[in-house]
Amino acid sequence: MSEAGPSGSGNPNVTRDTKHGRTYEGEGLRAAEAELIEVKISRNTKRLQISNNKTVIPDGLTVDGTPVEVKCPNPKKGESSLLDMIRIKKSQFYINFTFNKSHDVYNQIQEQIHATGKEKGYLAVHYNDGNGKHETIIVPVPRDQDRINKLLLEEEEKPIWDIRYLFSSDRKPHCSDASITVENHERKGFKAASWELNGEIRSLIFHNRKVTLDALTKSGEPVVLKCVKPTNNESGLLNMIKERKNNFCITFTVRKGHYVYKQVQKQIHATKKKKGYLVVHYNDELSKESTVVIEVPRDQECIDKLKGN
């Protein structure tokens, strides 16, 4: 909360939002400490020099002096969780979901992007606990030509560009609750291709190897659907991402275009560290709270630009 956001201070909503943030900042730091387990975090009020005429105030510092920035966004109508905030605010929010590129699913969707000749695909991660709670996250995945080239080199047989559409009359989804939405909610789950091609595309050829498709958008972009079975202590997608970490197909990142990303980079520079932390803490002032802690690596290119401004 150490630097003001881009909004004007005359707005009464900004005053309420600021008050909310200050009220729950300490709670957010304690939650972050619990999340990081072995990392001790202390409150900070000291100004740190970033240049001759600029200073920053990290909300907290770890024992080794790594900066911790806390954001406690004030929930608006319809925002019942951090998940809602990310989905509703989109690019206006500090963080977003991104693909875990070390996960096998990343290769899977890159193969499908190549096979369909598109510039992007989607990952849909659907949560259903069997007791009435269900959530869905849609993550756009841009074409990664370097990864595609690597996958092509790994193919044992000589590459062949041979797209063949294989149709099936079997319209049953792979999981019982596959009502996902993609791009303005225009198409749903596994019926995405039926209007376009009078049949459901089940597979294409990625060189000599067949790749299975879950669905296509209206414009023919591939969609991979993952319906992950929750364990006993996973009460939602947020828990799954935090519990499974690198073993899960998506993760959190800080939006590089957001002012908060620059704020954290200033603090990393001022503390002379290789990384910092962004803590996003949700509290609806009733009984619900949750926290996301994201490690933010030093971005020297961003820092150099900030120093030049």
In this structure, of 113-117, 136-140, 250-254, 263-267, the range with the lowest mean pLDDT score is 136-140
> For the residues 55-84, what does the mean pLDDT come to?
90
Highest-confidence segment of 17-21, 164-168, 179-183: 17-21
Would strands 95-99 and 250-254 be described as parallel, antiparallel, or unpaired?
Answer: antiparallel
- Residue predicted with more confidence, 160 or 216: 216
Confidence of residue 205 (pLDDT cuts 50, 70, 90): low
Greatest distance between any 2 Cα atoms in the chain = 69
Domain boundaries, the chain: 12-86+255-308, 96-227
The pLDDT confidence band at residue 128, using thresholds 50, 70 and 90, is confident
Most confident of 38-42, 252-256, 272-276: 272-276
- The per-residue pLDDT for 208 is 64
Is a pLDDT exceeding 60 seen at residue 114?
yes
Identify the pLDDT of residue 83.
84
Judge: domain 12-86+255-308, CATH 1.10.275.10.
Answer: no
**pLDDT score for 156:** 57
pLDDT exceeds 80 at position 209: no
**Which H/E stretch holds residue 265?**
helix 259-271
CB 64 within 8 A of CB 275: no
Q: Convert the pLDDT of each residue in 214-244 to its tens digit.
A: 777 767 778 787 887 888 778 888 888 888 8
pTM for this predicted structure: 0.69
What is the rounded average pLDDT of the residues 115-132? 82
Secondary structure (DSSP) of 226-254 = EEPPP-TT--SHHHHHHHHGGGSSEEEEE
Contact 70, 57 (CB under 8 A): no
What is the four-CA torsion angle of 200, 205, 206, 210, rounded to 10 degrees? 80
Across residues 269-286, what is the average pLDDT? 91
pLDDT-based confidence at residue 136 (cuts at 50, 70, 90): confident
User: Which of 141, 137, 197, 195 is closest to 165 using CA atoms?
Assistant: 197
283/215: higher pLDDT: 283
Confidence of residue 36 (pLDDT cuts 50, 70, 90): confident
Cβ neighbours, 10 Å, residue 124: 20
Q: What are the percentages of helix, strand and coil residues in the chain, rounded to 5?
A: 30, 30, 40
Strand-pairing partners, residue 51, are: 54
pLDDT at 2: 52
Secondary structure of 113-151 in the HEC alphabet? HHHHCCCEEEEEEEEECCCCCEEEEEEEEECCHHHHHHH
Spatial separation of the C-alpha atoms in residues 298 and 301, rounded to whole Å: 9
